Structure 1
Amino acid sequence: MMNLFDVVPEGLFHLLTGSNRKIYAEALLLLYEHSQRERFGIRYEVMRDLLQELLETQQETGMVISADEDEPVGAGREDQLTLEDVSRAQANALLRRLERAKWIDVETRSQFEAYIVLPHYASRLIAVFQELCEARTVEYQRFAFVTYQLLTGEEAKMRPCFAVMEAAQVTRQFRHELIGLYNNMKHHMETVVQKTSIREVLDHHFETYKSQIVDKSYHRLKTSDHVARYRFQILHTVQKWLLDRGLLQEAAMDGVKSELYETVEQAEYAVKEALFFIEETFVGLEEIFYQIDVRHNQYLRSSYDRARYLSQQHEGLDRRLTRLLELLGQQKQDAEYSLFAINQVRGWSEQSLLPPRRRRMAHQPETHVTVPIPAHVMEELRQRNVEKMRKAITRKKVDDYVMTRLGDRKRMELIELAPSSAEEFLMLGYVYLYGSDGGSRFSLDRQGKRQTVSVGRYRFHNHDIVRKERGG
C-alpha cells in the first residue's frame, strides 16, 4: 500500500487551516459542482467570474476576507481600485493559490484558452466534503438487494470473481453507512446536552435530529423490509459458495483470467476473504441494529432530561447575580466601563392613556332616486314583447297547424308537412316533440321500418300523424 502523501501533496490542506478557510471550502465545492457539468475542464474566465460573485456575496453578508501575505491585492493602489476590481483580483489570487496547493490544474489548450481540471485526489476529496455537508437520504434496502443480485444473478455465472468482489464492496458500504449512523447519533447526543435553553433543545431535536437522522436514515432502516427479506438468502448463497469447491475454483480462475490476481491461490484466498466478510456482516446485523436502537434511545433520554432540567431551573436572585457576575467578567476592563446606567423614566401623561371608546354612528343610507321611464320607451318595450310572444311557438300553435293540414282526415303522413323554410323545419321539430308526449290533439305513430325523407336541404324520418279521438 502506498503512503498517503505519495498520492496527496503535502501542502494540500494548508488552505483549509487559515483565516480564509471558509472561503476556500466554498470555492472548492463550487469548483466540484461545475466540474460535474463541464467534465472535460472549466474555462478559467468562467470560474474566475463565479468566484468573484461568490466573494462579493460573502462580503455582503459581513464576512471579512483576510489578505494573504503571498498574494497582495493592489498593494499601494487601494484608493485607485473599485470594489469590483478588488473582488476580481481576489478571485484571481484565490485560483493561483489553489493551483499552487495542487487542488487544481490549469491547462492551456487551443487558441490559448485556459481550462481548470481537478486532479483525481482533489475530485474524490471534494466529493467527500460535499457528502458531509449534505443531509442525504440513505436507502439501506438497496445494499442488501444489490448484494443478493450480484451473488445470484447472471454476473455471478459469467464473471464470478468480479461479482463476489463487487458484492463485498457493496456490503462494506452498507456496514459503513450503519456505523456512520451510530456515530452520528452519538454526536447529536453530545450536542443536545450543551444547549442552554428549552427552545434550543427543541429546535435541535425537530429541525436537526428528526429531519436529518430519523426521517432520512433511522425511520427508513426500521420500516424497510428488504434487509430482512434478503439477509438469509444472502447467507445461504454465501454458504453455498464456501462449501462448493467447484464454484471457488471457477471464481479463482476467473480472477486470474480477468488479470485481477496473478495466481489461482491469490484469487481463491481473496474470494474466500470477501465471502467471509459478507457472511460476518450479515450475521452481525442484529447486533448493529440493536446498538443503533440503544444509541437512539440514549439520545431521546438525553434530550428529554436536558429539556426537563432547563424547564425546572429556578431563575432566582442567586442565579441572576451569578449570571451578572459572569457577564461582567467577560467585559473588557477599561476606564469608560461602568457598572451602572442611568435611564430616563417618563411619568404619567394624557398621551399614555387609552382614549375612550366612542359609539358607532347609525348607518345613513343614500337617498333612493326614482328615474321615470318615458312613455315612448315603455311603448317600444311593449311592442317588442308582443312581437316576441307572437313569434313564440306554443303547443296551441302546433295543434292548430297540424289540425289545419289534417282537415277531416284521421291520419296523414309526416311528409305532407315537408318544410320549405327554416321556420317550417323548426315547426316540424315541435310536431315531433308534442306528438310524442301525449299532451296534444294528435299523436305520432312511428312506422316499423324507418324511412328517411329528403326534401331540399332538409332530412327527417317519415311517420304517421293520427288525430286523437275526443276523450281518448
Structure 2
Amino acid sequence: MKLFEVVPESFFRLLSGINKQLNVEAVQLLYEHAKRERFGIRIELMRDLYQELIESWEELDTQLEWDEEPRSLSPGQVDLEEVSRAKANSLIRRLETLGWIELETRDRYEIYIVLPHYTIRMLSLIQELCEGRAIEYQRYAFATYGMLSGEEARERPAMAVREALSNTLQFDRELFTLYNNMKHHMEQVVSKKTIQEVLDHHFDRYQKDIVENSYHRLKTSDHVARYRHQILDIVQQWQLDSDWMEQAVQDGISGGLYESSEEAKSHLRQSLRDIEAIYLGLDDTFYRIDLRHNQYLRSSYDRARYLSQHHQGIDQKLALLLEMLGNSSFPLPDEELIPLSRLQNIQSLNEGSLLPVRKKRIPHQPEEHYVIPIPEEVREQLRKERLERMRKAVTRKKVDDFVLSRLQNKDSMEIAELAPQNVEEVLLLTYVYLYGQDGGSPYQIERSKDRLILHAAPYRFYNHKIKPRISGGRQQT
C-alpha cells in the first residue's frame, strides 16, 4: 500500500509555510484533548483554545498568514475578538481541508471534531519526538522472552513468533535510532562557535537526551544480557524441532494468518532466523554505539580545545577596536562596540589562591570515662520490671498450657470454651489460631465448615474445633 493511499496528498502541507510553528502547536493541543475526549471534541472548545493560541502568538509580533481577511465592522474599525475568532475558524477549516480532522454533526446539531486513524498515529509520533522520552530497552527483550516461553507459545506458537518478531524489530529500530541520534549530536557540537555553546550542548542536550535517557540505561539497568541467551536457545531449538514447526504451521493456518502450509513454514522459519540474527548481532551493535559515543566525546573535546586556542586575546581585541574606530567617520552604535570592548578580567596571583599547607592531625584524646554506681533500690526496681514483662509476655508454652488446661483428656473441644474474658486471653486466643496450624504445638485446629461467629463481650471469633495432635500413632499431651 502506498503512502498517499492512506493519507491525503495535501496532508503534509500543514507542516510547511510561514504558519508551521503555530500549526504544530495547534495539532499538539488537539491531540492532548483527543486523548481525554476520545469520542469527539466539541468544536466550540477547540475554537476557544485556538483563539487563545492565536492571540498569544500575535502578542509576540509573530508574522502569520491567513486564508481569509478579517471583516471590518465599520471603516477603519475592527473588533479584535471577532478577528481572532475568525482566524480560529479559518485554522479549523484548514485542518479539515488538509485531512487532519473530520467534522461530525450529532444530536441537537452539535458539531464534533474527530481524528482519523492516520492523524492519531502521526500526532503520537510528533509528541514522542518532542518529549524525548527515556527508552526502556530491557522491556523489548523481556516481552520477547515472555512471548516465546509463556503460555501463548504453547497454545498459539505462530502468533507468539509473530509478536516476538515485532518486539525484536522495534528493539532493533530503537538501537539504530540511538546510534543515529549520536551522529546528529556530533554534527551539531562541531558547528558551535563558542566554548560556552559547546558546553551547553554537551551538558544540557547530549547528557540529558542521550546519556541519561538512553545510553546509560542501555549499559546498566536496561542491559538485555539477562534474556538474550534464553531467547537464542528457544529460537535455535524451535528451528530444529520438526514437531513444533508442524504445530505452529497448523496454528497459523487455523488462525487465518497464512493461506498454505508452505507460506506458513517459510514465514515462520524466516521470522525465527531474523530474531536470531538480531540478538546474535547485539555485540556488534553495542560496539558501534560505544564507538559513536566515544566519537562524540572526542569531537566535543576537540571543538572546545580548538575554540580555546584560537580565541582572540586582549591585544587582538584592542587592535580590532582601534581599527574600526579609525576607519569609521561617524560614531558607532553601542551594540557594535559591545562585542569588541568585552575584555577579560585577570587577577594577579595572591596567597589566597594557593593551596594551603596540610597540617598534621592532632592525636585523638578521648574523654575520661566515669563509672556511676547504680543504687540497689534501682537495681531491684529494674529486676521487678523485667520479671513483670516476662510474666506478661506471650510464649508458646503459655499458649499450650492455656489450651491443654481446658482440653485435658478430651478428644476435642470447641473454641467457645476458650472464650476470652480480658485482653490477655484475647492475645492468647490469637496465638492459639496461629500455633494450631504450624505443626509445632500439641494440638491442632479443625476448621468448622459452618464458620459460626461467636461473641464474648466486645470480642468475636470463629467457633472451630481443637483436637490433640497425633504424632507417630501416639497422642501428644
Structure 1, residues 260-313: CA drift from partner, whole Å, max 9, x if none?
Answer: 121122122221121111101000000110000000000001111111111112
SS in structure 1 of the partner of residue 70 of structure 2: coil
Q: For the Cα contact (< 8 Å) 1:144–1:226, is it kept in 2?
A: no
One of 163, 169, 172 as aligned partner of 1:172 = 169
How far has the Cα of 1:73 moved from its partner?
Answer: 2.8
Q: For the Cα contact (< 8 Å) 2:137–2:222, is it kept in 1?
A: no
Q: For the Cα contact (< 8 Å) 1:137–1:217, is it kept in 2?
A: yes
How far has the Cα of 1:166 moved from its partner?
Answer: 0.5
CA distance in 2, matches of 1:158, 1:236: 20
One of 318, 333, 341 as aligned partner of 2:332 = 341
Q: Name the stretch that deviates more: 287-296 or 259-268.
A: 259-268
Structure 1, residues 326-373: CA drift from partner, whole Å, max 9, x if none?
Answer: 9xxxxxxxxxx9764399xxxxxxxxxxxxxxxxxxxxxxxxxxxxxx
Q: For the Cα contact (< 8 Å) 1:12–1:102, is it kept in 2?
A: yes
Q: Which has the larger radius of gyration?
A: 1
CA distance in 2, matches of 1:264, 1:78: 78
CA distance in 1, matches of 2:322, 2:64: 35
One of 191, 197, 218 as aligned partner of 1:221 = 218
SS in structure 1 of the partner of residue 216 of structure 2: helix
CA distance in 1, matches of 2:323, 2:295: 35
CA distance in 1, matches of 2:221, 2:232: 19
SS in structure 2 of the partner of residue 341 of structure 1: coil
How far has the Cα of 1:139 moved from its partner?
Answer: 0.7
TM-score, length-scaled by structure 1: 0.67
Structure 1, residues 57-108: CA drift from partner, whole Å, max 9, x if none?
Answer: 222334222233xx33326868433322221111100000010111100000
Structure 1, residues 129-162: CA drift from partner, whole Å, max 9, x if none?
Answer: 1111111011111111110000010011111111
One of 271, 274, 288 as aligned partner of 1:274 = 271
- Residues 44 and 269 (structure 1 numbering): CA distance in 2 closer, same or farther, change over 3 Å? same
1:72-111 to structure 2, matched below 5 A, reads: 72-74=69-71, 79-111=76-108
> Number of aligned pairs?
332
Q: Name the stretch that deviates more: 265-274 or 21-30.
A: 265-274
CA distance in 1, matches of 2:114, 2:129: 23
TM-score, length-scaled by structure 2: 0.66
State whether structure 2 residue 307 is matched by structure 1 residue 310.
Answer: yes
CA distance in 1, matches of 2:207, 2:308: 21
Q: For the Cα contact (< 8 Å) 1:44–1:114, is it kept in 2?
A: yes
CA distance in 2, matches of 1:324, 1:20: 45
Q: Which amino acid aligns with 1:94?
A: L
CA distance in 1, matches of 2:213, 2:39: 34
Task: State the partner residue of 1:117.
Answer: 114
CA distance in 2, matches of 1:30, 1:342: 43
Q: Which amino acid aligns with 2:144?
A: T
Q: For the Cα contact (< 8 Å) 2:47–2:85, is it kept in 1?
A: yes
What's the % identity of the aligned pairs?
55
CA distance in 2, matches of 1:135, 1:173: 17
Task: State the partner residue of 1:25.
Answer: 24
1:31-180 to structure 2, matched below 5 A, reads: 31-68=30-67, 71-74=68-71, 79-180=76-177
CA distance in 2, matches of 1:342, 1:214: 44
Q: For the Cα contact (< 8 Å) 2:72–2:79, is it kept in 1?
A: no
Task: State the partner residue of 2:371.
Answer: none
SS in structure 1 of the partner of residue 103 of structure 2: strand
Q: Which amino acid aligns with 2:182?
A: M
CA distance in 1, matches of 2:195, 2:89: 46
Task: State the partner residue of 2:6.
Answer: 7
- Residues 212 and 155 (structure 1 numbering): CA distance in 2 closer, same or farther, change over 3 Å? same
- Residues 318 and 117 (structure 1 numbering): CA distance in 2 closer, same or farther, change over 3 Å? same
1:373-412 to structure 2, matched below 5 A, reads: none
Task: State the partner residue of 1:401.
Answer: none
- Residues 10 and 77 (structure 1 numbering): CA distance in 2 closer, same or farther, change over 3 Å? farther
How far has the Cα of 1:324 moved from its partner?
Answer: 11
- Residues 320 and 180 (structure 1 numbering): CA distance in 2 closer, same or farther, change over 3 Å? farther
Cα RMSD (Å)? 2.4
Q: Which amino acid aligns with 2:14?
A: L
5+ residue gaps, structure 1: 327-336, 344-435, 438-472
SS in structure 2 of the partner of residue 80 of structure 1: coil
CA distance in 2, matches of 1:84, 1:188: 44
5+ residue gaps, structure 2: 335-376, 379-477
1:167-206 to structure 2, matched below 5 A, reads: 167-206=164-203
CA distance in 1, matches of 2:196, 2:61: 27
Q: Which amino acid aligns with 1:148?
A: Y
CA distance in 2, matches of 1:249, 1:129: 43
